[in-house]
């Protein structure tokens, strides 16, 4: 019986841990290296959509996610800033499966962490170097540790240290918007729809809410244009009064919620044009290290989970350097076109949300028609697509 390859993942966020769980589930030895002293995610929400949820359920995480997530469905709608309804928000795939959760980032991270083998996550390891040879790859860390592996996955975010070993680094592009975000207890807003994702669109800005943590909390995000660049930080404290003033005169549901906000955070929105390469020999990029995207389709974490699933399927059964590098080439060929499409569509959707239209009727029609795009996103099955790719011959260099 051939020995399993060893995979080292740099980055212990959602993308890195999702890849690690998928690889471990398929019998591949994994070590995760995270620069922080503890695994943590700040208080922010995200969506787990059908395209990634079906992958997580297949590797045994369905029950754990159901315990911490908030099922999103009934009452999900788009509105103009005054509260008039534009259309329904799709919350199912084409089959009608409602595989959509609002999730606290920390809850999702904990589910992934709990699914990892004991001793496989190494905190306090900040990567400072990478090298590779015919026998394998090496990582060096600022604490003096050196790790060897057959494959290295760079899941270290938009400012990836490992990206420069794959492609000439390119600076992230600022989108010109600041996002205010926070959480509020559902008990403080009992009139709120507990299962609804709601989006209000107005004069160059938009506001959204959705439930997290079993519906016990509501996650809100307000997207506001800026004249100066805001840092890409999940933990920068925002100005609560500035947030409220930005949406003054909007639907009373929005202003009423903001009147109850005591503190909030903000972060700048960045993405990057698609990279020319994701892979160099034994090194592959994943998630924001490869394809940072604006949040206007909610697909950032979901695409990273797809990346991890693809890598796990394609690396399963690899036994030597040639097969590893062939698998990584397949991964790049499979994932780059899809994520480039999602990046572009996220930008377009942001323009719709922020009403960059002379004719709002056209915007409203496009929003209503966007269900077709969302169905195509949600119906996509990365595991099946990766298995199809395995049946093809060797990838050309």
pLDDT, one tens digit per residue, over 232-277 is 555 566 778 889 999 999 999 999 999 999 888 888 888 988 999 9
Classify domain 6-72+103-171+273-355+381-390 by CATH number. Answer: 3.50.50.60
The pTM for the full model equals: 0.95
Q: What is the rounded distance in angstroms from the CA atom of residue 35 to the CA atom of residue 27?
A: 25
Least confident of 285-294, 350-359, 373-382, 385-394: 385-394
In this predicted structure, the answer to whether residue 176 has a pLDDT above a threshold of 60 is yes
pLDDT, one tens digit per residue, over 61-82 is 999 999 999 999 999 999 999 9
pLDDT at 231: 58
Q: For the chain, what is the mean pLDDT?
A: 92
Tell me what the mean pLDDT of segment 186-194 comes to: 90
Q: What is the rounded distance in angstroms from the CA atom of residue 358 to the CA atom of residue 231?
A: 31
Q: What is the rounded distance in angstroms from the CA atom of residue 303 to the CA atom of residue 15?
A: 9
pLDDT category at 319 given cuts 50, 70, 90 is: confident
In this predicted structure, the answer to whether residue 397 has a pLDDT above a threshold of 50 is no
Q: What is the rounded distance in angstroms from the CA atom of residue 249 to the CA atom of residue 226?
A: 19
pLDDT, one tens digit per residue, over 344-359 is 999 999 989 988 888 8
Element (H, E) at 375: helix 371-379
The first and second tokens of residue 16, run together, are: 């890195």
Tell me what the mean pLDDT of segment 126-149 comes to: 97
């Amino acid at each position: 019986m051939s020995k399993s390859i060893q995979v080292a993942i740099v980055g212990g966020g959602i993308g890195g841990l999702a890849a690690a769980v998928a690889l471990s589930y398929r019998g591949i030895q994994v070590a995760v290296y995270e620069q922080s002293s503890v695994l943590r995610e700040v208080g922010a929400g995200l969506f787990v959509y059908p395209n990634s949820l079906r992958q997580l359920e297949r590797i045994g995480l369905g029950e754990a996610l159901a315990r911490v997530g908030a099922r999103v469905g009934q009452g999900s709608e788009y509105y103009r800033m005054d509260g008039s309804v534009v259309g329904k928000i799709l919350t199912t795939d084409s089959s009608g499966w409602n595989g959509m959760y609002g999730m606290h980032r920390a809850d999702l991270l904990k589910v992934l962490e709990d699914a990892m083998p004991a001793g496989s996550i190494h905190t306090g390891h900040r990567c400072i170097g990478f090298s590779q040879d015919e026998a394998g790859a090496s990582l060096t860390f600022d604490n003096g540790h050196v790790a060897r592996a057959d494959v290295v996955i760079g899941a270290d975010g938009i400012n990836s240290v490992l990206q420069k070993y794959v492609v000439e680094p390119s600076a992230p592009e600022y989108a010109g918007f600041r996002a205010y975000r926070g959480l509020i207890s559902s008990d403080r807003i009992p009139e709120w729809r507990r299962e609804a994702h709601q989006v209000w669109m107005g004069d160059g800005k938009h506001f959204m809410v959705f439930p997290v943590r079993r519906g016990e909390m509501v996650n809100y995000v307000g997207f506001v244009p800026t004249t100066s660049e805001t840092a890409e930080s999940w933990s920068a404290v925002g100005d609560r009064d500035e947030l409220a003033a930005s949406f003054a005169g909007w639907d009373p549901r929005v202003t009423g919620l903001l009147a109850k906000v005591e503190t909030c955070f903000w972060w700048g929105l960045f993405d990057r044009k698609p990279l020319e390469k994701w892979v160099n020999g034994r090194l592959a990029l994943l998630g924001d290290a490869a394809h940072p995207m604006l949040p206007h389709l909610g697909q950032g974490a979901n695409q990273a989970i797809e990346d991890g699933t693809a890598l796990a399927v394609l690396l399963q059964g690899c036994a030597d350097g040639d097969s590893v590098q062939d698998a990584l080439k397949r991964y790049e060929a499979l994932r780059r076109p899809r994520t480039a499409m999602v990046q572009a569509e996220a930008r377009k959707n942001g323009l719709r949300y922020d009403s960059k239209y002379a004719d709002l009727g056209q915007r409203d029609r496009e929003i209503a028609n966007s269900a077709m795009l969302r169905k195509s996103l949600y119906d996509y099955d990365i595991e099946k697509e990766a298995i199809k790719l395995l049946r093809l011959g060797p990838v050309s260099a």
